[in-house]
Amino acid sequence: MTEHAHTRLRVVRAGIDTYQQPVVYMHRDCPVCRSEGFAALTRVQMRVGTREVIATLNVVTGDHLAVDEVALSDAAWQAVTPEAGAYATFQHPEPAASAGALRAKVFGARLDDADCLALMRDTAANRLSDIELAAFVTACAGERLDHGETIALTRAMVAVGERLDWGGGPVLDKHCVGGLPGNRTTPIVVAIIAALGHRIPKTSSRAITSPAGTADTMEVMAPVALDLAAMRRVVEREGGCIVWGGNVRLSPADDVLIRVERPLDFDSDGQLVASVLSKKVAAGASQVLIDMPVGPTAKVRSDAAAQALAARLTVTGSAMGLNLAVLHTDGRQPVGMGIGPALEARDVLAVLRGAPGAPADLRTRALAVAGALLELAPGTPPGQGPALATQALDSGRAWAKFLAICEAQGGFSEPGEAPFQAPVVAPRAGRIAAIDNRRLAKVAKLAGAPGAALAGVVCTLRIGDPVVAGQPLYTVHAQSPGERDYALAYAQTHTDILSLETP
């Protein structure tokens, strides 16, 4: 990029969180806007020293930004890490090489390997705007990615990111399709698998549309924002880890697509499979178990949908060289008692410690997942996976291993408790007929989860349980009275979140 005076602005920090999207702010009367013809939402290529980033422009009309300054959002600042007094230069970026493939997909064309690779390269390099990426996500929604395109997209996501090599021997991993509040089996499964001498380098996501992701829950108990070198040290020392995948950037193109999918609140089976399996391949996994909850308010709502998704996972996993199995599980109701980072962490610790009153359903599900994953590992006698998992948990070996993993990642912490709590009570006597997972999760999110780590919902009731009038159905936990009241207002207008039938 050639530097000219009319493209040069002094860099300041805006102090604005735009999530992972680099954004720059210029005054409408600044020389760069005038000479380059920049307008709001223009894509601009910015260089600071030797570092470059493509960002989205927002135009400032007030007097709080000088005409010779450019303000950088947090994501843009982190991309170029400017020194004090630094200057930035700007120009229009070259058109994205994948723009033609993106337009073709919008109009219904199939994507081949080269198309997918170009799209993921441009996605990872931030050469496509969020509007263009939203169009791509929408064009792929429903059943508009076939199996061949799913495989091509998975390969492309792997190709544009890092890929770990753990040497010889099996490397185990698991993933839950999601949609089930409180289903926080991963820390328990990782502890069990590692305690039995297997490698399980687990990268996990933060919440996209849920009250907590595995990384959010684990972060209550130990640091998760490790880089690749630190992640490798933990796994080499303890056999397993639970780290935030966004920090190790094993599939950076997928991380960008997830950012775009978050406000849209949908994805396609093809993109879900490519997202999950690209990260498994990149993490060096060889044996992978997929936990697929099926229920009317889970992400996968019917047996037919489960079979279709399982087939796509199996075909793509085979093409990527994975030994993959799918475990269909009950998705009709939450798992554990807590919904939200700290509340789910408390459940995890209770199961690992064997504490009285630990949620039996979380224990049972974690053992089922761990047992099925062990069955994929070479050397496990057929049918012995569940027994081996149970012995590792009941003996305390899994708890010891979990503590060791936490210490290796930076130290263990006990979860705290929210200062504001309020019950939502049964309006009448009856029996729990159904639980709406999505709306119960929304109550937890309105209470502040996952941003407020102590916030969420505690629900101990299950389908078939009797209740009396005035009995708490669930309890809202919040870190501020405003968030508590916001969640309660939603709960009071949706009285069938836990629906009652006459016993």
CATH 2.40.40.20-classified regions of the chain: 5-91
**What tens digit of pLDDT does each residue of 399-421 get?**
999 999 999 999 999 999 999 99
For 327, residues 6+ apart whose C-beta sits below 8 A from its C-beta are 289, 290, 291, 292, 368, 369, 372
Of residues 143 and 68, the one with the higher pLDDT is: 68
3-state SS class at 383: coil
CATH 3.90.1170.30-classified regions of the chain: 420-501
| pLDDT mean over 442-470 | 97
Q: Is the pLDDT of residue 5 over 70?
A: no
CB of 102 closer than 8 Å to CB of 132: yes
Domain 420-501 falls in which CATH fold?
Answer: Aldehyde Oxidoreductase; domain 3 (3.90.1170)
Look at strands 172-176 and 287-294 and give their pairing. Answer: parallel
Of residues 293 and 34, the one with the higher pLDDT is: 293
At residue 251, the pLDDT reads 86
Please, what's the b/e burial string for 212-241 (b: 16 or more CB within 10 A of its CB; e: otherwise)?
bbbbbbbbbbbebebeeebbbebbeebbbb
Give one DSSP letter per residue of 481-498, joined into a string.
Answer: HHHHHHHHHHHHH-TTSE
Q: Rounded to a whole number, what is the largest CA-CA distance in the chain?
A: 79
For 99-159, CATH number? 1.20.970.10
Residue 234 zone, left/alpha/beta (φ > 0; ψ -120 to 50; rest): alpha
pLDDT band at 6 (very low <50, low <70, confident <90, very high): low
**What tens digit of pLDDT does each residue of 223-278 get?**
999 999 999 999 999 999 999 987 887 888 988 888 888 778 777 899 999 999 99
H-helix or E-strand spanning residue 75: helix 74-80
Q: Tell me: domain 172-248+267-409, CATH 3.40.1030.10, correct?
A: yes
* Predicted model pTM: 0.89
The catalytically annotated residue of 115, 173, 254, 267 is: 267
Range with lowest mean pLDDT among 127-131, 243-247, 339-343: 243-247
Catalytic status, residue 267: yes
For 5-91, CATH number? 2.40.40.20
Calpha distance 2→284 (Å, rounded): 41
CATH 3.40.1030.10-classified regions of the chain: 172-248+267-409
Distance of CA 131 to the CA centre of its chain: 21
Calpha distance 95→203 (Å, rounded): 33
**What tens digit of pLDDT does each residue of 96-105 get?**
999 999 999 9
Cross-strand pairs, 324: 288
At residue 340, the pLDDT reads 98
